[in-house]
Amino acid sequence: MEDEEELLPAEVAAAAESVFDPQDDAEEASVLAQISSLYQRDLAMATAFVVGLLVVLPFIVIALWSVMPGPGTKTLLVAAAAVLLVYNVASMSYLVRNYRRDKDFIYRRDVAHLRELKVARRLEKTGEVPA
């Protein structure tokens, strides 16, 4: 089986390699800026999921409140909602902390793939690469 890199045009492979081995400080600054942008997007998404849960969970509790038969089941409903909220907030905060700690390892590969894709699409659009 052929190596996938052998199938890529040299320009596409060079775009990815420039991420892992930048030639100058400007190239590294560009990569770091893109890494920061990807991290900020993931941080915003995690925050949006937590905010969404904070918005939706009270509506669920209110909607189910009237159909619960007794005070014991209502207490269980509130406790389950609280546990769900605590575990989801804790998991999202751990995820964001892990992403921040390993930002370079996680996102440098993403930046390389994004740059490969950008060059490959440009080459395909100009007709320099067979589809």
Rounded mean pLDDT of 48-75?
92
pTM of the predicted model as reported, rounded to 2 decimal places? 0.76
Regarding predicted confidence, which is higher, 44 or 16?
44
Around 38, how many Cα atoms within 13 Å sit in the side-chain half-sphere? 21
Quote the CA–CA distance of 51 and 92 in Å, as a whole number: 11
Note whether 103 and 40 are within 8 A (CB).
Answer: no
Residue 86 has pLDDT above 80, yes or no: yes
Residue type, 68: M
Rounded mean pLDDT of 111-120?
87
Question: What's the pLDDT score for residue 125?
Answer: 84
- The tokens of 36 are what? 């920061």
Residue 1 has pLDDT above 50, yes or no: no
Note whether 54 and 85 are within 8 A (CB).
Answer: yes
